[in-house]
Structure formats: C-alpha cells, structure tokens
Structure 1
Amino acid sequence: MTEQLQNGCDVVVVGGGAAGLSGALVLARARRTVVVVDAGEPRNASADGVHGLLARDGTPPAELLERGRAEVRSYGGSVVTGAVTGVHRDGSGLVVALADGRAVRARRLLVTTGLVDELPDVPGLRERWGRDVLHCPYCHGWEVRDQPIGVLASGPMSVHQALLFRQWSADLTYFTHDRPDLTDEQWEQLAARGIEVVDGEVEGLEVVDDRLVGVRLADGKLVRRTALAVATRMVARAELLAGLGLRAQPHPSGVGEYVPTDATGRTDVPGVWAAGNVTDLSAQVGAAAAAGAFAAAQINADLMAEETRRAVDAYRDPFSARSESRLSDLVTSGRRHGL
C-alpha cells in the first residue's frame, strides 16, 4: 500500500464507504490502478444494520464495508487507512496529502467523503443516534413500526418527516421545540393525519435500562415515546477540497451543504468527481453505491479519451513520440543514478 502511495495511480478515491468502494471496484475491474483512502468514520457506524439494500438487508455496516474492501483488493485495488488533509494540483495530476505525511499522486480524483449530521443541541440525542433517535423512515421505519414515535422540529423538512413516519405508525407526536411557527397548511396536514402537536421546548430524553422511554419537556412534562425522529442539518465533508477552490455550497432545500456535480458526478474542477452523500444528501446506501459505480465508469471513460488522444498524436508523429519516450527514459535513468 505504501508503495502505491509513493508511485501514484490512475485514481484516488477519498472515502471508503458504499460510494467509494463501489467506485473503486468498478475502476479496479477496469484494470485501473486505484487507491482508496479512508479515515474510518462512516456515517452509519452506530446503526445495527443497513436496510433497503437488495440481498444485503440488515447487514451490519462494518461487515458490509469489510466485504467491500476485500472485493476491491481482490482486483488489485489498494485500501489505505488515513485521513486526507488536502489536495492540490501538480501539473496535469493531483496530489492527495494524508495527515501522517504520506502523499499520493493521481490522474483523477473521486470524492466520496460523505457528510456529517449536525444534531440539535438537545441532551441525549447524540448518544442515542442511530439506535432510537432516527432520521430516515426508509432506513429505520420498519424497525419502529407501530411504536409511539416522536418527531422533533429541527429543520425545514421536519413536517415532511412527520408525515412520512405516519406510514409506519399511527401513534405520532410532533414536538415544536424551538420552531413553533407552523403554517395553517401544516397544522391542517398534521391534524388530518392524526399527528398530535406538542408545544414547548424539549429539555432532553428519558432513558431507562438503555432504552428510550420518553421525551422530557422544559416544563417537566414527560411524553412517552420509544423512538424519536430528528431531521439533522447535513454538511458535506469537503474541507479537503479547498486547495482546489472547491467548497460545499448551501443545498437548495435548506437542509445543509453539498458539493454540486453534473449528472455524471463531475465537479467544476477538472479531474475531480464526487459521489454519494457528499453531493446527494438524501442518498441511501444503495443509491450511494450506484452513484459511485456510475462516476467510476465516467472517470474511466475520461481517462480512455485522454489516452486515445495521446495515442492518435503518437500515431500521427511517431518520431516525436519516440523522442519523448527516449527523453523520459533518460530522465528516469538519471534519477536512478543520482544525476
């Protein structure tokens, strides 16, 4: 792995989740040299299982990633543990710097760093996150079906979230918390669906024997709930791209920040693609994996087009191509002899 970092590769994939490993798998099978650099901080680490993923429903996240890493390595890809601190351009290539001082040069970059969920400042939310404090009904709704569920008003999509969770349970309570200003239309929607609205600030969670039993309001009232849905502010992990002039931007929906791309995953920076939650904040594991695979195919096609252009140039002017090859050999020989 260290040797590949020193010698460079066709593609560096930053982030080893579903999108990154799927992209790396496609590239490795396309006989590209690929290095995945992963910091080991998956968004779904606290979840018991990955749901809604065909043929792998319920698989623990760590197990799914381990299988993915093994598959990438089986085709010659490299998976390196490390945190990327920055990326800069060097001539026609990109240099990816790691926190431990290592660096790897790549012809293309696929960013699949995911996002960070910013939770409201309510005691107990972070500790219960991914267990009985949830965000996605498609990921966790079945596991809490028919239970008393609370929805904490915490973002522009909170009412939408409450209406979605109503599909899994008829016993829903909407806590206005610090966002009491519901529109008339929202009041009517919640009432029509039988969702109780509770005003007042939420002080914290009531937990007994490591299980959520209720939501405690600032006035001391306890509302019995066994699950709480929270719409987080989702922020793309994009700090490492600042050296390329690429930064996360506010998402049009108002739910957080993302890295914009075109339909192929290509960013505004030449040679850089992005896939998964870093650009699609709502993507589940299956969608993220598909996006990573699709972006990888586009990267391979882009490399192929570049190589074809060079081959055509060499075909048209073989003497120039031989001269450049000879010069490259002389430079390499000189470096080996300390010249």
Structure 2
Amino acid sequence: MEDSPQEPIDVVIVGGGPAGLSAALSLGRARRRVVVIDSAEPRNRFAAHMHGVLGHDGLSPLALLERGRAEAAGYGVRMLRGEVSSARLDGGVIEVDTAEGTIRTRRLLVATGLRDELPDIPGFPEQWGRGVVVCPYCDGWEHRHDVIGVVATSPRSVEQAQLLRQWSDRVVYFENVVGAASDADLERLASRGICVESGAVAGLRTLGEGDDARLRGVEVDGRVVEIGVIFTGPTMRPRDGLLRSLGASTTVSELGDWVDVDDDGRTSVPGVWAVGNVVNPRANVSVSLGLGSLVAGALNADLIADEVAAASDRIVGVTR
C-alpha cells in the first residue's frame, strides 16, 4: 500500500483497541481519511467477558472490537492487519512503514496499549483472565461469594486486599515475599478480617484440564489454601517503542517510565499523538473509549487549524 507522496492521508492510527477504534470512529464521522493498523493482540483478549462498560456489560471484549471495526469502516476508515515497523518525520508529514508499504500521513495517533508482565509463578499464565485477574471493578462482583486471594507483587498489594474486602468478607492476602506487610498494615488487615499468608507462593492448584481447568487453590509453604479467584498486580509494560523511536519525552513515576502527553493526547513530537493504555495505565475499556473520542476531537481541531492557515496563506499569495 503506497499513498501518494503529494497527498498524505489525514490520520494513521496504530492500534485497534477501544481507544484507537473510538478515535477512528469519531474521525471517520468527521470525514477524515483514516487508516487503522492493528496487530489484533488486545490486552484483554484473555477475558471471556468485560464488565462495567455501559451498554455492553458482559459482552466479550473481542466482540466489542469486532463491532467497533465494522462501525468505523462504515465511515470509510481503512483497516490493516499488522504492525508498524518504523516511522519518521519528513518535513510536515509523517512516514509510517508497514508490511504493505509506506503510508504518508499528516498526523499519527499511537494507541498500542500495554502488556501485563505476570509474576513468575507456575500456573499464572494458564489462568490469566479466568482464575487470575487484576481489576476489582471488572471482576469483583462475579466473585462476591468466593474466597478471594490477593497474591502480592509489591507492598502496594495491601491496598488491593483492602479494596477487595468491599466485595467479599473472605479475603486472603498472600505476602509472597515481595509484599510483606508492615505491623501497621497487619493490624489494619486483621481489623477487617483479612487473613494473611506469609511465604513464597509456589504455584496454583486447579481442577480439570486445559481451557476447562478451574482454579482451586494456592500452594504456599507446602500447603494448599483453597480460594475461588486470585487478584494480583502485574507489571504493566507500555507498548511504546514506536513513540520512543520518534523521540517522545517520558516521565518516571512509581509505575515506571511513561511517555508524556498533554490533556489532548499530544506528545512532545510534532504531529504525533497517543491515547489509551500506552500512555495511561489506568485507562480501562470505558475510559479508553472516552479518551479516544476526546483525542479525536482535539486532533481534528488541530488539522482544521492547519487547513485554515494554509487557506489564509493562499489568499495572501493571490492578493500580492
């Protein structure tokens, strides 16, 4: 696919998750020429259902994306399956390299999300999105009658255990070496009836085989503590290699080193924008949908400003 060097398209969106597709839908409806390039590896692809998304509670996250792609395509947005190998600035245009060729675009919106790096515990990858989850607001209701386990990945996991006490009065906090609670934390956990298990977590016990395997318990200190679900805190790694290769500035926080964006999604690189989990670790599906729409509006206004300036320059040129 080779777009004319004389006529770059308006926006290339890299990433077809909730944020990217929401932006694509708004920009397509604004009659912008848009291409979405997506590797089809959304962060929540391991989950059978998503919750807390107004109007779509219980829907498969993959079904939401399928609907989103169809809706955006209905407004002329082109969908490409694949990855962007590189991008570069060429004057006022951005060149984006794909397996199908180079696309020239006026603006680049990166919505590539993040990946969850799980604790190195046997059984976690196989249960991820089913017996092992991360978000109480997404999955807490479904496990309100279960014994909820919290496998610590840092001292901050104590806060996660206290939060989950909102959903169940049977919460077990597994310190797992890295999340050892202070005396004050232990007192607060005990005050709400949260059980604390010290020692390293050796693995998970399940019932059944393969995709049908159901979580039964956590193995710690040679014992199996029976639970119905595990909540944990994976290390979030933004898929921001493209942004960094373009020279986007970053800021280090307690959650890591993240690319900077302003309230409208602009990065420090001219013409390059970002939205969703690639720059915001707290952006769940609902937040990503909203941010995608917000950034699309700001990006469209930025394009209009360029078009007004160009039209004014032409008028000035004619009257001279």
- So what's the TM-score if we normalise by structure 2? 0.94
SS in 2 for 1:16: coil
Partner of 1:34: 34
What residue number does 1:224 align with? 226
Residues 242-253 of structure 1 mapped to structure 2, 5 A cutoff: 242-246=244-248, 249-250=251-252, 252=253
- Which one-letter code corresponds to 1:179 in the other structure? V
Deviation >6 Å, runs of 4+: none
Structure 2 residue aligned with 1:64: 64
How many percent identity over aligned positions?
46
Q: CA deviation at 1:162?
A: 0.9
Amino acid at match of 1:287: V
Kept in 1: contact 2:155–2:181 (CA 8 A): no
Counterpart contact for 1:235–1:257, Cα < 8 Å: no
In structure 2, what is the Cα distance between the partners aligned to 1:156 and 1:200?
Answer: 14
Per-residue CA deviations over 1:23-50 (Å, capped at 9, x if unaligned) read 0111111111000000010000011112
Amino acid corresponding to residue 83 of structure 1 in structure 2: E
- Given that 1:156 and 1:255 are in contact with CA atoms closer than 8 Å, whether structure 2 keeps it comes out as no
Residues 300-339 of structure 1 aligned to structure 2 (within 5 Å):
300-318=300-318
| 1-structure distance, mates of 2:298, 2:288 | 15
Q: Please state how far the C-alpha of 1:258 moved relative to its aligned partner.
A: 2.6
- The 8 Å contact of residues 26 and 293 in structure 1, kept in 2 or not, is answered as yes
Q: Shift of residue 180 of structure 1? A: 4.8
Correspondence 1:212 to 2:199? no
Unaligned ranges ≥5, structure 2:
none
Give the aligned partner of residue 48 of structure 1: 48
Deviations 1:290-316 (A, max 9, x none): 101111111100010011011111112
Seen in structure 2, the aligned counterparts of structure 1 residues 247 and 97 have a Cα distance that, compared at 3 Å, is: farther
Distance across 2 between alignment mates of 1:139 and 1:319: 61
Does structure 1 retain, via aligned residues, the 8 Å contact 2:249–2:267? no
Computing the radius of gyration from Cα coordinates, the structure with the larger value is: 1
Deviation readout 1:140-171 (Å, 9 max, x if unpaired): 11111120111011035311111111111111
What is the identity, as a one-letter code, of the residue corresponding to 1:299?
L
Structure 2 partner of 1:171: 170
Tell me the CA shift for residue 187 of structure 1: 1.7
User: d(CA) in 2 for partners of 1:47 and 1:56?
Assistant: 14
CA shift digits 1:67-122 (9 cap, x unpaired): 00001110011111011122111111111112x25221111111111101011110
Say whether the 8 Å CA contact 2:2–2:101 is kept in structure 1: no
Amino acid in structure 2 at the alignment position of 1:55: G
Q: Distance in 2 between matches of 1:273 and 1:204?
A: 41
Aligned residue number for residue 92 of structure 2: 92
Report how far residue 241 of structure 1 moved: 2.1
**C-alpha distance in structure 2 between counterparts of 1:295 and 1:152, whole Å:** 36
1:236 maps to 238
Structure 1 pair 49–185 and aligned structure 2 pair: CA distance change class (3 A): same
Coordinate RMSD, CA, aligned: 1.7
Structure 1 or 2: larger helix share? 1
Q: Which residue number corresponds to residue 139 of structure 2?
A: 140
CA distance in structure 1 between the partners assigned to 2:4 and 2:198 by the alignment: 55
Q: Runs of 5+ in structure 1 lacking a partner?
A: 321-339
Q: Which residue of 2 aligns with 1:77?
A: 77
Distance apart, 1:15 and its partner CA: 0.3
Match of 2:107 in 1: 108
- Is the 1:155–1:255 contact (alpha carbons within 8 Å) kept by the matching residues of 2? no
**Pair 1:150-2:149 in alignment:** yes
Question: 1: CA distance between counterparts of 2:302 and 2:102?
Answer: 23
Secondary structure of 2:300's aligned partner: helix
Distance of aligned partners of 1:246 and 1:156 in 2 relative to their CA distance in 1, 3 Å threshold: farther
Q: For 1:185 and 1:112, how far apart are their aligned partners in 2?
A: 41
Change (3 A) 1:296 1:5: farther
The alpha-carbon distance between structure 1 residues 231 and 53, as it changes in their structure 2 partners (threshold 3 A), is same
Q: Distance in 2 between matches of 1:256 and 1:242?
A: 14
Moved more, 309-318 or 20-29: 309-318
1:12 maps to a residue whose letter is V
Q: Distance in 2 between matches of 1:181 and 1:5?
A: 59
Equivalent residue number for residue 325 of structure 1? none
- Aligned partner of 1:30: which letter? A
Q: Secondary structure at the match of 2:305?
A: helix
Matched residue type, 1:221: R
CA contact (8 A) 1:119 1:125 kept: yes
The residue type equivalent to 2:237 in the other structure is V
